[in-house]
Structure 1
């Protein structure tokens, strides 16, 4: 081990920071968070490599995020280099405070219905499960009619790949009793949310009309305001309906209005954790009695190339537009779009009503990074505290958790930080032969941002329901995981049920610092409605609709389902 020269280390760090922000090394404030001084993820990885060579020790790529300031970084490396001192990588991560201590097990919440519209032509849960089971990569070129002015950007910013929906312009306005004029100025995110919510209610066998006047809560994760920005660009052409059509808050309010529900109606924007925070709020509302039924959703559409261009200029995007979660080939995110909705009820109510229970929410948790190594930098301590609170709330032992649907964006730094937190909390007491399994739907769909968490949650609910964990994509060159207690699922495999019952977690982290985790368990096996002893040889199904063509389409889809 090489002797550590404090002055040389200080100079090295100052020179690297100066290169990031174009200042002199002598002017670098070593007491400020490195991320505030211009450090990006790739800069952190590069500096960790330089420090490894300077100290003659293998240092973790997460080092700079665990040690925010230049002063703290140099002090940690020097302390680790002293005779008899532990290695730098063994330094403890600061513990985050969990307010009030861990909560005990709360009343379980049942997932009784799902709706989804996702890349790869996915229009329902069955199609989503087929895509996941087959290991389908849904990334493609941007639809030709999507960004007509895309060529106006410099060639270096042209990044045409992502997870796109087939059609975002179509909308059945008549079904929702919305006039053509109002529908024309509605954000497509509002339109798709209405349709997918209706499909989720159908999947749950809950007549939409039965919710009128009830304590049904609506919780929608949504964070992209692009439609309102585009439609409001020319004040002279603004339509009177445009403010409501483009407001994110109205996405939840319009759904509550259409259904005439009287519970809470909330639009949640915590960036990439929005939809999981919406699920958390929905579960809290059910457990406190504020709501009797909850509709939790997430929606995200890529209506403008502006954010994509900004991400490209920041070096955040993978060149091929694909997220590669926990892969040795991880090189950035790929953006995606979609919508997913879950219908939630208290488990006791679902059992009373004879509902089909697809999975059970045992616990949820939300927290904040606080002052991490930069406003948009992840916090290892906060992620650990989040997991500890979630599993304490579920009353589950760490070694009984089988699988985590990770945030897993496929970035060289974000994935190791997440894996480190998972290992620190859920690796405790784990038999090496029973590793914590990991995956992320982002490999299939791209990063759906405000809808990412609920897309992962729906994937996990379907996996629990089918008893099989589908593969996580793009680990052909091997995994980036170094903890033997963790393993990426690369082929479909039966649910291991380490503790006798299938248990999973779902994570979502927002770049503003809001983290969310949901603990899921397989549904009760005996949830089969009582049927007559003698079934009739045939059944008559009555279908109705306002529109003849739509009625034929519904009948055709039902026929396809019955054939399957």
Structure 2
């Protein structure tokens, strides 16, 4: 080969290699560009997820005054009910000794706190007796929470559902433990089990956290649940708290410090304030991302715009509240929500009725929310504690439920027992006004918003900001009490079956009895029937009441409520877990089989189309 031929060949090889390198470089640059675009997309999604609102899709509660639901709580505060009573007589308390030690024994008590349907949760009677009543009430309230949300909790097994529960009191049994209960006490008294038992019972696999920041526990639990949802570690989260006094030690100890109100009533921010009043209760809310709630069709009760938690630090006393810290936590929550102080209409305050704490809290509110507001638009100030007392670990979440119900009913309830605003505060220093009378709260051009405060005796403070949802997202479900969805005296579309179930015969009767007011008060039975089969767990004891008119349905549902059966009411049992798919079976032989289906073909358009 000549030199010229060699050069030409070498040059061609070099040119080919260069072309190959360029192609590889182009491919590499394409890959890097695509990878950068994917990274940007993921970052954008992460940032959007972090900023996406978290919403409340379910609520449940038990508080003094016979409160067993959010609707009950609204009736209590709207009617201005004073739920303070004498101590219950079913707890084996030494009431004579209590009266000797404590100058004030009246408080807000849960009348049915010792009761528990252990069999419903698969718990033996002996273990149930050993269980701290706070765990019992939490379990029952959690079941009601998912029913309120329209979610079959049995479908959440294995899900990343989180549980965040505030719980303080751990004095159940004390040192006098009956021998037959030994062996159950570790799980029955540990506060960690309060959240863990819930997760275990339902099969949740998200975080399960029990926490104690004293009076701010339930709000701090909600704050942590929000963060868990935003970070993606939970897709759904239960948040709230519980307090039930197993013994009167807290009453006696606070009486020694002269911290109890003489008449057992919290006079929040009042001139007559003379101390706090202890109370019991349990409150839970269910939270998830706004986009998930919309996608799944969950009813949205409120949007959580922001929240913040901080600590008093080295203040003027271990248990003394810190005004500067309270101001900071409010400003931090407003910053988290992207709101100004004037954007908030109402604050459900901590308001314990003490002569030390209330003035400090009022000054913090005046220094934050009270500034830069129009005089005709002051911040309104209320406190649930004036109705029921201070429910400690359940206090903050009770305020959340109260505020959501106030938005729904477009009215701010009054605060009780206020003779006059406390003279310890310069109320002219800002636009803040006590709710000594109810105040209308209609929807306007801007969303209605409210803050809820809790300040723990440990120094841990929390503030949460709530906003009403868009109108189209807050429609009442047709089967909810008081929905007003009427269908007249006749149900359209032929016979309607109301399918109910319970964990026991008594539970089944209770469910049927609970549906009776819905049918009688005008809710459309077709909507009730749909809700019963689409959003309720199917339990072992089952019943069906059928009817083609409201009177017939009411009568047959009443038969189920009394534990009976008849031509229009059937009771039976079945497997606890429902099958994944539903089939129609037409028994019989010969021409009977054909006749079984013909009726459905004529009466059910959906069945005919499907067939």
Q: TM-score category by the smaller chain?
A: 0.7 to 0.9
Q: 1:453 — aligned with what?
A: 396
Q: 1:226 — aligned with what?
A: 171
Q: 1:43 — aligned with what?
A: none
Measured against aligned partners, the alpha-carbon deviations of 1:195-214 in whole angstroms (never above 9, x if no partner) come to 00100110000111011000
Residues 400, 497 of structure 1: 8 Å contact kept: no
Pair 1:559-2:559 in alignment: no
Pair 1:175-2:123 in alignment: no
Matches of 1:156 and 1:556, distance apart in 2: 44
The 10-residue stretch of structure 1 (465-474 or 323-332) with the greater mean CA deviation from structure 2: 465-474
Matches of 1:425 and 1:499, distance apart in 2: 24
Q: 1:188 — aligned with what?
A: 133
Question: Which of 412, 418, 433 is the aligned partner of 1:487?
Answer: 433
Pair 1:425-2:368 in alignment: yes
Question: Which of 302, 305, 319 is the aligned partner of 1:362?
Answer: 305
Residues 116, 125 of structure 1: 8 Å contact kept: yes
Deviation at 1:331, TM superposition (A): 0.7
Measured against aligned partners, the alpha-carbon deviations of 1:67-110 in whole angstroms (never above 9, x if no partner) come to xxxxxxxxxxxxxxxxxxxxxxxxxxxxxxxxxxxxx9932111
Q: 1:199 — aligned with what?
A: 144
Deviation at 1:557, TM superposition (A): 1.0
TM-score, normalised to structure 2, is 0.72
Pair 1:523-2:480 in alignment: no
Q: Secondary structure at the match of 1:129?
A: helix
CA shift in 2, pair 1:498/1:314, >3 Å: farther
Matches of 2:477 and 2:153, distance apart in 1: 24
Q: 1:464 — aligned with what?
A: 407
Pair 1:149-2:82 in alignment: no
Matches of 1:106 and 1:365, distance apart in 2: 15
Specify every segment of 5 or more residues in structure 2 that has no aligned partner in the other structure, as ranges: 1-48, 479-486, 522-611
- Find runs of 4+ consecutive structure 1 residues off by over 6 angstroms: none
- Structure 2 counterparts to residues 267-282 of structure 1, below 5 A: 267-282=210-225
Q: Secondary structure at the match of 2:462?
A: strand
Q: Secondary structure at the match of 2:110?
A: coil
Matches of 2:502 and 2:135, distance apart in 1: 22
Pair 1:241-2:184 in alignment: yes
CA shift in 2, pair 1:105/1:373, >3 Å: farther
Q: 2:53 — aligned with what?
A: 108
Residues 150, 305 of structure 1: 8 Å contact kept: no
Matches of 1:508 and 1:539, distance apart in 2: 47
Matches of 1:183 and 1:232, distance apart in 2: 18
Matches of 2:354 and 2:264, distance apart in 1: 12
Question: Which of 449, 452, 465 is the aligned partner of 1:503?
Answer: 449
Q: 2:503 — aligned with what?
A: 546
CA shift in 2, pair 1:226/1:107, >3 Å: same
Deviation at 1:129, TM superposition (A): 0.8
Deviation at 1:237, TM superposition (A): 6.3
Matches of 1:529 and 1:551, distance apart in 2: 25
Matches of 2:448 and 2:348, distance apart in 1: 13
CA shift in 2, pair 1:154/1:175, >3 Å: closer
- Taking only aligned residues, the RMSD between alpha carbons, in angstroms, comes to 2.1
Question: Which of 486, 493, 512 is the aligned partner of 2:458?
Answer: 512
Matches of 1:235 and 1:371, distance apart in 2: 43
Question: Which of 395, 405, 410 is the aligned partner of 2:353?
Answer: 410
Deviation at 1:277, TM superposition (A): 0.3
Larger radius of gyration: 2
Q: Secondary structure at the match of 2:61?
A: strand
Matches of 2:155 and 2:231, distance apart in 1: 22
TM-score, normalised to structure 1, is 0.78
Residues 319, 458 of structure 2: 8 Å contact kept: yes
Measured against aligned partners, the alpha-carbon deviations of 1:387-415 in whole angstroms (never above 9, x if no partner) come to 11100111111111100000000111211
Measured against aligned partners, the alpha-carbon deviations of 1:298-322 in whole angstroms (never above 9, x if no partner) come to 1000111111101001011000111
Matches of 1:406 and 1:499, distance apart in 2: 25
Matches of 2:252 and 2:171, distance apart in 1: 14
Deviation at 1:231, TM superposition (A): 4.7
Deviation at 1:550, TM superposition (A): 1.6
Q: 1:288 — aligned with what?
A: 231
Q: 2:63 — aligned with what?
A: 118
Deviation at 1:497, TM superposition (A): 6.2
Task: For CA contacts below 8 A with separation 6 or more, give which structure has more relative contact order.
Answer: 1
Matches of 2:178 and 2:514, distance apart in 1: 44
CA shift in 2, pair 1:479/1:559, >3 Å: farther
Q: 1:131 — aligned with what?
A: 76
Q: 1:297 — aligned with what?
A: 240
CA shift in 2, pair 1:154/1:337, >3 Å: closer
CA shift in 2, pair 1:529/1:224, >3 Å: closer
Deviation at 1:541, TM superposition (A): 2.4
Deviation at 1:513, TM superposition (A): 0.4
Deviation at 1:278, TM superposition (A): 0.3
Measured against aligned partners, the alpha-carbon deviations of 1:457-480 in whole angstroms (never above 9, x if no partner) come to 111111122221111111134555
Pair 1:314-2:257 in alignment: yes
Q: Secondary structure at the match of 1:174?
A: helix
Matches of 2:372 and 2:496, distance apart in 1: 53
Deviation at 1:449, TM superposition (A): 0.6
Question: Which of 282, 287, 307 is the aligned partner of 1:344?
Answer: 287
CA shift in 2, pair 1:133/1:530, >3 Å: closer
Matches of 1:464 and 1:529, distance apart in 2: 13
Q: Secondary structure at the match of 1:332?
A: coil
Deviation at 1:498, TM superposition (A): 7.7
Matches of 2:394 and 2:477, distance apart in 1: 36
Q: Secondary structure at the match of 1:364?
A: strand
